[in-house]
Structure 1
């Protein structure tokens, strides 16, 4: 599947992908994406080798025969170039998941490609955290940015809450930007602009709201959606925090959802950021959202000294 690098309008292929999403939405299709480990377990169950419904095709990424989706959807998949044919049948190279009232297109399981676009439990928690922040925030959001946007779910939610805001969705992954454009169209959020950028480098000015859910794992394949780099995967999170605080407008807020590997009961990420944030002109709050995520990663050599990986939330507000 080829992707356009710079266009702001949808290509013909991605218009077909949008049409596919609209058809699924109209059909009442729903699917909640789980962790990769859970996905594997469910697909290994007896009777789950082949898809028998739309959730099996577009959610569980199972092989299927043509009549499972019907001729109309099959032709839309052909036009969108998201069909893969194999000895066991056809497969969709994309998944569709719901969050609230919206559907989001992202990469099929397993997400092995270097430029795969991931959507999963972290996405749900991230958007819930944004909602909670905006529910209590008194400042108007006129300019916002989602750093490392992936599917654009966070940018789209902000644009839904503030329809007049300029919301930039930034990512270095061109596939993510294409998916974001399709998802923004499907959600009817014209305020979302997908922009190719390495972190905040291509974004101009200051922001009322900066949000980020960066990769935070140590991934041997260094896939862009997983590999955080640095010490125990914290490299990108630290870089976003370092550049983001300086780009906040007065009263602006930064929300960072990330993961932290705990070693001997210590949170090395918190220890790195606390002194710096205490010295800046801001108020901040840090807490664990989930004490144990992606536990299967603890079997990997990169985590031989870690006892758990926790999902954490940092909010910073410039005074």
Structure 2
């Protein structure tokens, strides 16, 4: 079931996030595989707000405060599931802020994803970007976690959150408002951007082979690397001289070669300096069971910093 058009649910979502902040709500979102294992081990209805907004468990109307239930009904953020109700959104915590995103499982093509990659992405930004009063661009922003976290940490004064997914930008706008930071959302692909440059460009591009072509997941051809490469090359035209491009992305490793790093080294011009490090040597190992990854020995999470121009 789709959410209501954003105009009908704006006020409700803003109030919901404010309520959860006031209640000190906190939830760290795991990988989909871990989430699924938890649900299989805990076949029950929700007993807490974390169960509802974190684990996406069904619940009875009697399990939740009547005012909060009415709020969810007004926003169309729940749907019937037999005798129970199912939440249509999740809310995760990162660095003291709350981020709304899609409920589990994230099967819709325009689902808004949040998980361990998001936490690693934000931590990478915190490590690599210096304090600044500049303007940061978050490409493929999704929930907005990268750009929002950067501004909250003083790595930029304002953020532009760019995506082609209207649902993602709607959620990202609310996440920025709840975090009380300066951010604008822009719906565009990288071929239709305004003539503007930024002090830093950050991205966490999709990098998997995905037959369902979900926007948050499908990285395109060459074992899911094409989007990461094209976004990175586009970013070289969007960053100011002396600025940084930060890419957090997964990469297949074949015969010891980290494919994304190798491709970027071959396609970036000599004026660019690139450093790549493995943040995690082994992620989404279950994907290696698929035919598309038959020659891949592992998938590594990379942090790539590019400067120059």
* TM-score bracket for this pair, using the shorter chain length: over 0.9
Picking from 196, 200, 203, the partner of 2:187 is: 196
Separation in structure 2 between the aligned mates of residue 42 and residue 287 of structure 1, nearest angstrom: 31
Deviation at 1:125, TM superposition (A): 0.4
Q: Given the alignment of the two structures, is residue 175 of structure 1 paired with residue 170 of structure 2, yes or no?
A: no
Picking from 19, 40, 62, the partner of 2:36 is: 40
How big is each residue's C-alpha offset from its partner over 1:97-142, in whole Å with a ceiling of 9 and x where there is no partner? 00011110000000000100000000000000101112xx36x342
- Residue of structure 2 equivalent to 1:7: none
- Following TM superposition, the consecutive aligned residue runs of length 4 or more in structure 1 with deviations greater than 4 angstroms are none
How big is each residue's C-alpha offset from its partner over 1:71-91, in whole Å with a ceiling of 9 and x where there is no partner? 011011112210111214101
1:63-142 matched pairs, under 5 angstroms:
63-134=58-129, 137=130, 140-142=132-134
Deviation at 1:304, TM superposition (A): 1.8
- 8 A Cα contact 2:147 2:159, kept in partner: yes
Deviation at 1:3, TM superposition (A): 3.3
Separation in structure 2 between the aligned mates of residue 108 and residue 211 of structure 1, nearest angstrom: 25
TM-score (norm 2): 0.95
TM-score (norm 1): 0.92
Q: Given the alignment of the two structures, is residue 217 of structure 1 paired with residue 219 of structure 2, yes or no?
A: no
Separation in structure 1 between the aligned mates of residue 250 and residue 201 of structure 2, nearest angstrom: 18
Deviation at 1:281, TM superposition (A): 2.0
Separation in structure 2 between the aligned mates of residue 100 and residue 163 of structure 1, nearest angstrom: 14
- Tell me the SS of whatever aligns to 1:123: helix
Separation in structure 2 between the aligned mates of residue 194 and residue 222 of structure 1, nearest angstrom: 23
- 8 A Cα contact 1:177 1:195, kept in partner: yes
1:1-319 matched pairs, under 5 angstroms:
1-4=3-6, 11-45=7-41, 47-134=42-129, 137=130, 140-162=132-154, 165-189=157-181, 191-199=182-190, 201-277=192-268, 279-318=269-308
Structure 2 residue ranges without an equivalent (≥5): none
Separation in structure 1 between the aligned mates of residue 148 and residue 264 of structure 2, nearest angstrom: 29
- The RMSD of aligned alpha carbons is 1.6
Separation in structure 1 between the aligned mates of residue 155 and residue 305 of structure 2, nearest angstrom: 23
How big is each residue's C-alpha offset from its partner over 1:205-259, in whole Å with a ceiling of 9 and x where there is no partner? 1111000001000001010010000201011110111111122211110000001
Separation in structure 2 between the aligned mates of residue 276 and residue 163 of structure 1, nearest angstrom: 28
Classify 1:142/1:200 alpha carbon distance in 2 versus 1 (closer, same or farther; 3 Å). farther
Separation in structure 1 between the aligned mates of residue 305 and residue 5 of structure 2, nearest angstrom: 34
Classify 1:252/1:163 alpha carbon distance in 2 versus 1 (closer, same or farther; 3 Å). closer
Separation in structure 1 between the aligned mates of residue 82 and residue 205 of structure 2, nearest angstrom: 37
- 8 A Cα contact 1:141 1:208, kept in partner: no
Separation in structure 1 between the aligned mates of residue 212 and residue 263 of structure 2, nearest angstrom: 26
- 8 A Cα contact 2:144 2:175, kept in partner: yes
Larger CA deviation: 279-288 vs 257-266: 279-288
